Copies of this chain bind each other. A is one copy, B any other.
């Protein structure tokens, strides 16, 4: 049967990345406390394609993922990327996993517990020997407006905001670490369950720590800039202003590595 993909390309240009996207699969991954958690991931897999081939063999990506079936981690993603390179006869391979990561959160007074999901992305790339890893975590927090508080006789507008951390790492890190960094930077972390004494405590502590998006983004950037395993970072905060239909945002990019494309 004819292998059209192996034909010569009409236009002789190398392709930076070609692959499949939006593969929805169950995923297991380790967490710091419970050893393993089950979640669901949207997966993207890609490789480079030399100028001389018309097409890649798309079914091999899905076969590679089916065959992999491992718990997400440094070594397991490395094995997946090596397998992709071999199956697709490629120089570079990339795998992207987007999934909700669950942590238990406890109310500050009652201790009432509940699970909270954080949207995370793990990106592994393999060009030569050693894979490179990037992480993304989206962490919702509460912000109380310092200006509204300072000028009003009573109250201050507050709202949900989202802290989005993008990282290139040069060593292993837990997702928890960056989620906690983001939650500490807002006026308050969010909670799945708050009984009345908790709601009182959260309201009062949030009003004692009013924060602009500028304050939140700087607090996170300062920690990322000093982090020994963060080679590059971009942190963005977007607040869904409760007094406007539009949002406020701020971002800072930095790191020891020269900034490059997302």
Contacts and interface: CB of A to CB of B under 8 A. Distances in A.
B55 A147 contact: yes
B243 A146 contact: no
What is the total number of copies of this protein in its complex? Answer: 4
B66 A115 contact: yes
A247 B46 CA distance: 12
Interface in A216-245: 217-219, 221-222, 225, 238, 240-245
Interface stretch (A8-16, A82-90, A170-178): A8-16
B262 A260 contact: no
Contact size range, A? 35 or more
A75 interface: no
Interface of A: 1-5, 9-11, 13-26, 37-40, 44, 46, 49, 54-56, 58-59, 62-63, 66, 100, 102, 112-117, 140, 142-144, 146-160, 188, 190-197, 199-200, 202-204, 206-208, 212-215, 217-219, 221-222, 225, 238, 240-253, 259-262
Given A15-B214, A146-B4, A243-B142, A20 B248 contact: yes
